[in-house]
Amino acid sequence: MHSAKRVNIVSVKLVKESSMLYKQRRVRSPQDSYELFREYLGDVDREHFVVMCLDTKNQPTNISTVHVGSLNASIVHPREVMKTAILSSIICCHPHPSGDPTPSPEDIEITERLAAACKLLSIELLDHIIIGEDKFISLKEKGYF
């Protein structure tokens, strides 16, 4: 005879840690995304994979750092990205501390994996922005998804 197994009753909640003012109200372009992410990230010394959730009017609702990596890599799993994205459209972003925003093969691979996961969950992946020293690259504009 087997003993009973206790099952936890849980819920997932977003916890507001702080906030920042976004004067544009809406994200209308990759440039808008870049400027907001740049303000959020400041001058980081390692890769941070960041997700911005947007409402149906493309107004940012929240930003979360999904993973902080090393100087030149950040391991990202789609389930971590999707935690805050279930009820939103998303734009992902990460800086290249080297200053060169050219996408690496790993950047392209995670973008493709995220696009597939978003499609499966009916979440719109609006863009993946890579921030360099004084410029950025939109992986959507470059045709990676």
pLDDT digits 0-9 by tens, 44-84: 888 899 999 999 999 999 999 999 987 777 778 888 888 88
Give the CATH number for residue 52.
Answer: 3.40.140.10
DSSP classification of residue 83: T
Model pTM score? 0.84
* pLDDT confidence bin for 12, thresholds 50/70/90: confident
Domain span at residue 86 reads 30-138
pLDDT of residue 75: 79
| Amino acid letter, 140 | K
Residue 143 lies in a domain: no
How many structural domains does the chain have?
A: 1
> What are residue 85's phi and psi, to 5 degrees?
-95, -10
Residue 34 has pLDDT above 90, yes or no: yes
With contact defined as beta carbons under 8 Å apart, do 87 and 124 qualify?
no
